[in-house]
Amino acid sequence: MKKLLKTDKIESIRHSLAHILAMAVLKKFPQAKLGVGPVIENGFYYDFLLKGQGTSDMGQGTTVEINLKDIEKEMRSMLKQNLDFKREKLTTAKVKKIFKEQPFKLDLIKEFAKEKKEITAYHTFSDKGKDTIDKEFKNPVTCHMSHVACFFDLCRGGHVSNTSEINPDAFKLTKISGAYWKGEQKNPQLTRIYGVAFETKEELKKYLWQQEESLKRDHRILGEKLKLFTFAEKVGPGLPLWLPKGTIIREEIENRAKKVEKDWGYERVATPHIAKEELYKMSGHIPYYAESMFPPMKLDDGNYYLKAMNCPHTHMIYKSEPRSYRDLPIRYAEYGTVYRYELSGTLAGLLRTRGFTQNDAHIYCREDQVEEEFLKVMKLHEFWYKNVFSITDFYMRLSLPTKNKDKFANIPEGWEKSVEILRSTMKKSGLPFIEAEGEAAFYGPKVDFQIKSVIGREETASTNQLDFLATKRFNLTYTDNDGKEKPVYVIHRAPLGSHERFIAFLIEHYAGEFPFWLAPVQTTVLTVTDRANSYAEEIVKTLKNKEIRVSYDQRNETIGKKIREAELQKIPYIIIIGDREMESKTISVRQHKKGDLGKMALEDFLKLADK
RNA sequence: GCCGGAGUAGUUCAGUGGCAGAACGCUUUCUUGGUAAGAAAGAAGUCGGGAGUUCAAUUCUCCCCUCCGGCUCCA
């Protein structure tokens, strides 16, 4: 799906650079045997068997670094020669001759021949070399020795027509790693050289900055440093424990959500964490979803499951009384905790857990209300991301069921109708969207909201579905104005996804520097000497009365050390109290990362913090 | 779940077939200081868990658990 967002041009650039990389490596290591060189996310790689690289390169470090830079330099000089890329269809016999000294290429050729695939190759050459092509391609390795750039590679294609289309300052070789030929351990190990490439130098710079930043911002590391959450082996993998500071963030978000949902016409409900097997049989989760649920608890009156989703419970609330067309739409919101038995290897910090709390809601409406309701849901997402969290980079992904048909409930009419409604609503919303196949939930197509942080991490923040299956399975109906019972439409929505994933995203998005309203500790009062203690305590008390989350550091440490620690904790404002403040009845304020704001009256600080 | 890597003090990490190490943090004492680390002393470990080899295992072998990277999957 990510592919859909990329232009073909950048793919061509990356692919072409892989070839140029092979050329450069061949020039440095004429004996190198070539593997394959595909395009990957953000760049490309190429595999080589580099003979003559002695056994002494055990300590990679510097040698490798220098090599990459050298190869990069070589690549740049090749790019500047304005080399042409030309596609050629070749017979098996001919390619075999060209690649007679390239065992891996011969292996591929054999494979293609077996599959009766057409063999195409790309020829890279300079004007100067045009006349010598026939002579030179007898051995693509040696043609570099003649100072005429010329290179043949088996390739399906997708190349620039000339290297002048590639910005020589917009790519970088990033790392070297080992990789087995065709990914199989029994095969020889090759050296894989990775590179990243973009259309412009600015994009490359941004990417490199994001890489560097993402290491520093990893929510697992910041989560520990800022004491937000933890895991305990005895509790179990994928089951986060929220520490007091992390809990503040959870609750601030939840309180905000309660208010927003109230404003947008939702009512809140609450449901238990378990339910009988019958409920999940009714919903259809047992056949489709059982392997992702924790195994059942066997009790006297049957099996009980930990809930993996909130919908069936909420549907029971809808069914608790007969509904009239006048009641609709009904919007039930809930922060519901669910448990899913995810594969152990997929668990990752807070991004993927086995227990998480969703910002869930279900909207029950009439057919004539569906579009408007879904549109509102989309607008609600926009409001949260843009207005509340300053996440400006997001898009919707319409997930359709094509592959794996058996994974989806088989009601074709319902699917088609839902897809149509969703598609037209997405267009009306004016928000960016793409379509992806094979990602739908079993009970209907869904609209995922993909959000991107400032460091480029993309996550599915929210999944929204139009559910036509629940209506049938649970017999969710209302009495229309003609006195007849009609099916309702159910919309599932969760703009903030789960607390776990969303907060993981926010930690990285904000680099742990939360906006004032979310900061677990909003300000801290530091004393310079203990003569200031009683005045400092007064300040702390006042701040607490104003509902500001304040900590107080009166330890016997130097002011420099206290400031350092508060800065490392990324506390938005630091208040410093010493003799001078005591005399002038003021406070000294220091803003995180900005530094000293000077002395001010406490009231002025309150105004500042209120913004 | 699969493939690969790792697990030693609260944290980050050295290290060894023969008494377990550093830095930071923590505790105590001295120091009362002005915008990112004042000084000294002290406490702190089932060397992830279990089995095996050995006179002796944190170190070697096997099994399990957890974490990390990837596959896959998703909120």
- Which bases of strand B have any atom within 7 Å of the beta carbon of a protein residue? 1-4, 11-12, 29-38, 65-75
pLDDT value at residue A261? 97
A329 upstream amide cis, omega within 30 of 0 = yes
pLDDT-derived band at A547 (thresholds 50, 70, 90) equals very high
Q: What are phi and psi of A543, to 5 degrees?
A: -60, -40
Nearest to A343 by CA among A335, A351, A352, A334: A352
Closest residue (CA to C1') to nucleotide B49 in the complex: A233
**Residue A219 annotated as lining a ligand binding site:** no
H helices of A569-601, in order, are 579-584
Q: Check whether A65 has a pLDDT greater than 50.
A: no
What is d(CA A529, CA A555) in angstroms, rounded to the nearest whole number?
Answer: 9
Cα Rg of chain A, angstroms: 31
DSSP run (H or E) holding A20? helix A8-28
pLDDT value at residue A238? 94
Most confident of A74-88, A330-344, A408-422: A330-344
pLDDT value at residue A213? 79
Q: Check whether A63 has a pLDDT greater than 90.
A: no
Condensed to tens digits (0 to 9), the pLDDT of residues A251-292 reads: 999 999 999 999 999 999 999 999 999 999 998 888 878 889
A352 CA → B49 C1’, Å: 26
A345 CA → B6 C1’, Å: 15
* A37 or A185, which is more confident: A37
A341 CA → B65 C1’, Å: 17
Q: Check whether A388 has a pLDDT greater than 80.
A: yes
A428 CA → B6 C1’, Å: 51
| Closest nucleotide relative to residue A577's CA, C1' based | B34
Q: What are phi and psi of A342, to 5 degrees?
A: -80, 150
| Both structure tokens of A52 | 């003559």
Q: Which residues of A are catalytic?
A: 311, 340, 358, 360, 362, 446, 492
A518 close to A524: Cβ distance less than 8 angstroms: no
Condensed to tens digits (0 to 9), the pLDDT of residues A412-469 reads: 566 778 888 889 999 999 999 988 876 666 667 889 999 988 877 888 999 998 887 8
| Closest nucleotide relative to residue A292's CA, C1' based | B73
Condensed to tens digits (0 to 9), the pLDDT of residues A552-590 reads: 999 999 999 999 999 999 999 999 999 999 999 999 999
Closest residue (CA to C1') to nucleotide B36 in the complex: A564
DSSP A396-425: EEEEE--SSGGGS---HHHHHHHHHHHHHH
Q: What are phi and psi of A324, to 5 degrees?
A: -105, 160
**Residue A362 annotated as lining a ligand binding site:** yes
Least confident of A95-109, A185-199, A319-333, A457-471: A185-199
Q: Check whether A62 has a pLDDT greater than 50.
A: no
Condensed to tens digits (0 to 9), the pLDDT of residues A213-261 reads: 788 899 999 999 999 999 998 899 999 999 999 999 999 999 999 999 9
Q: Mean pLDDT, to the nearest integer, of A34-59?
A: 65
Q: Angle of helix A499-510 relative to helix A201-217, nearest 10 degrees? A: 120
**Residue A273 annotated as lining a ligand binding site:** no
| Closest nucleotide relative to residue A399's CA, C1' based | B74
pTM value is: 0.82
| Both structure tokens of A523 | 């300000």
pLDDT value at residue A466? 86
A449 CA → B56 C1’, Å: 61
| Closest nucleotide relative to residue A555's CA, C1' based | B32
List the domains of chain A with CATH numbers.
Answer: 2-200 (3.30.980.10), 221-510 (3.30.930.10), 523-610 (3.40.50.800)
* A293 or A109, which is more confident: A293
Report the length, in residues, of chain A. Answer: 611
The residues, any chain, with a CB within 8 Å of residue A411's CB and separated by 6 or more, are A468, A469, A472
DSSP run (H or E) holding A261? helix A244-263
A371 close to A425: Cβ distance less than 8 angstroms: yes
